[in-house]
Amino acid sequence: MDKKELQSYYDGYSTKAYNVFGAHFTEDGVVFRLYAPNARSVRLIGDFNNWNRNETLLTKINREIWEVTVKGLKEYAQYKYVIEQQDGTFVEKSDPYAFYNEMRPGWVCKVVDLDEYKWTDDEWMKNRSLNLDRPMNIYEVHLGGFKHHGAGRWFTYYEMIDELIPYVKDMGYTHIELMPLNEYPFDGSWGYQQYGYFSVTSRYGNCYQLMMFIDACHRNGIGVIMDIVMAHFVKDGFGLVKFDGTCLYESSDPSRSESQWDTYYFDFARNEVVSFLMSSAGLWLDKYHMDGLRVDAVSNLIYHNGDSTKGENSGAISFIKRFNYHLHQEYPTAMIIAEDSTSYPRVTEKVEYGGLGFDYKWDLGWMNDTLRYYKMDPEYRKYHHNLINFSMAYFYSEKFILPFSHDEVVHSKGTIVDKMWGSYEQKFAQCRNLMVYMYTHPGKKLNFMGNEIASFREFDEHKELDWFLLQYPAHDSFKRMMRDLNNIYSSDPAFWKDDYTWDGFKWIDADNNEQRVYSYVRYGGEYVYVTVLNMAPVSYEEFEIGVPTYGFYTEIMNSERDIYSGCNMCNFTKVRATKPGKHGMKYAMKIRLAPFAGVILRAKLK
């Protein structure tokens, strides 16, 4: 046992406590080590001792840690612990540090050697970065809901190499974000209510298959991000709750322990809990080569029960800072992303400079304002013009990702296309416009699977995406436009190089509420890109806007092109910009602008 790592665990700074605890192969056999300070005794039962409670007892090696070595075990040997509590009650528990568990509804642990897999992604790992000055266009995926074999049979991690990776690559996404793959008991929680903080869910295969999938992503130039849950854990009796008969992981204060999801909040005042969670995150970066972690429900870490009126949760805030600081020290090119709905300041500022230390934060304010606007009857949009132009008033306060995530297509909220105002055709036209807006707005992008095919059915973890929709022109052409937008976005630094500086964006006209038209410029590299968004069902043969440079502008995207099932009112020839200027710009030009059109024009910067 690494005594230095153990001390770090007790001090609340460990990112690799999984090397101390759990089940590990050694020359002498498999060493089982468990933290259970208040247990009267700990017994190991498994298929190797016929689940006999009296055959394999662990010995206390100090006042808090129990250990036993079992010889002759092979990989995937099954085991669990029997904890004798102080009142003499025996309770069967899953190993908190198990690397693998059986398929739900079972929860028996399995011995696995995570160092067996030989990685082939050295070049990727050497060259990866936090992507601040690189394109990052994320495809969020629930593995079980992407594709099915039928009859409820999921594709395995290994099969996803041939199913998911080619699709993501063809569509032009740079990263895949996986909804949680920690082990969890209830399918309907989508992995956000966990018990196996070090365990890969067995729903889609084993640990090595997941490693193969991530390795293959890296070989194909695709980064992998995974959602993790640091705030709370499930109440199931075999898990962390009252683990050794006491509140070892959860708060002993009933008013602070229960969450809105009928789970328990972690007790962040305990160093051992802090090390447990930091090490869980570290495992995915270390053993699985994840390129980023998206931390769920950060608002419930910042404030008690996620409610700002209850005050800041100082213990959890201290944990966040420690978590981000030490993981960045250990894995400087791995991203840590906050799913945070609060206005708490400096979320993406470094810990050393007084921030929380995240690399990115989801811009949920932008998401809510934007969808509220697009749901609205266009006649009334003139009175709510600020819902669109407000985002740039605060955008540079954090490093934002623009998300249309799974949260927006569940619980009867309606899918993205279904949220749009109007008739069937108008919904598609405005959704195309919305995506042009999203891809030209500063900030990295995230779309949940199904958004790219304009799915009308909400996400259901028991069903695959409605791929049959691609038989219909409106959906197939929408997918084509999304692929084209992805490629336009990734191909020019104007759309990502200066996302988080004042140099990359400038409004042309942010205040045209009467016509409900927005226009702005993206800078970077040798080209400038002018975006014009018509939010009304009105067309213009000659719509005049100011532009920053003279010469000819080429339309590279129009959401109303016929190949996207639009009306085809486009700018088919180059548009000339001349003096005098307009909107505070030196030059001006006139363009054709279709109803609900999203238009991007490019010119060489002179």
Q: Is residue 393 classed exposed, middle or buried when 0-12, 13-18 and 19+ CB atoms within 10 A define those classes? A: exposed
The Cβ of residue 263 has, within 10 Å, a number of other Cβ atoms equal to: 22
d(CA 98, CA 87): 26
Q: Which run of H or E residues covers position 553?
A: strand 551-558
Give 254's pLDDT tier (boundaries 50, 70, 90): confident
Give 136's pLDDT tier (boundaries 50, 70, 90): very high
Give 159's pLDDT tier (boundaries 50, 70, 90): very high
Amino acid at the residue 354: G
DSSP 315-341: HHHHHHHHHHHHHHHH-TTSEEEE---
Average of per-residue pLDDT across 326-346: 97
The residue among 401, 395, 449, 408 whose CA lies nearest residue 139 is 449
What is the tens place of the pLDDT at every residue in 397-416? 999 999 999 999 999 999 99
Give the distance from CA 497 to its chain's centroid.
Answer: 21
Q: Which run of H or E residues covers position 225?
A: strand 223-228
Tokens 């669109």 map to which residue? 388
> Catalytic site residue 236?
no
Q: Which of 296, 398, 498, 555 is catalytic?
A: 296
- So what's the pLDDT on residue 54? 93
Average of per-residue pLDDT across 47-66: 95
Is pLDDT at 262 greater than 80 in this prediction? Answer: yes
Is pLDDT at 300 greater than 90 in this prediction? Answer: yes
**Lowest-confidence pick of 56-70, 75-89, 112-126, 144-158:** 144-158
The Cβ of residue 552 has, within 10 Å, a number of other Cβ atoms equal to: 14
What values do phi and psi take at 440, rounded to 5?
A: -105, -10
Q: Which of 95, 183, 339, 359 is catalytic?
A: 339
pLDDT, averaged across the chain: 96
> Catalytic site residue 339?
yes
The Cβ of residue 148 has, within 10 Å, a number of other Cβ atoms equal to: 15
- So what's the pLDDT on residue 419? 97
Cα-only R_g, the chain: 26
Q: Cα torsion for 367, 165, 499, 575, to the nearest 10°?
A: -90
Give 150's pLDDT tier (boundaries 50, 70, 90): confident
d(CA 205, CA 211): 11
d(CA 360, CA 399): 5
Note if the bond before 580 is cis, omega within 30 degrees: yes
Asked if 282 and 226 count as a contact pair (C-beta separation under 8 A), the reply is no
Asked if 251 and 265 count as a contact pair (C-beta separation under 8 A), the reply is yes
Chain length of the chain:
606
Q: What percent of the chain has pLDDT over 70?
A: 100
Average of per-residue pLDDT across 272-277: 97
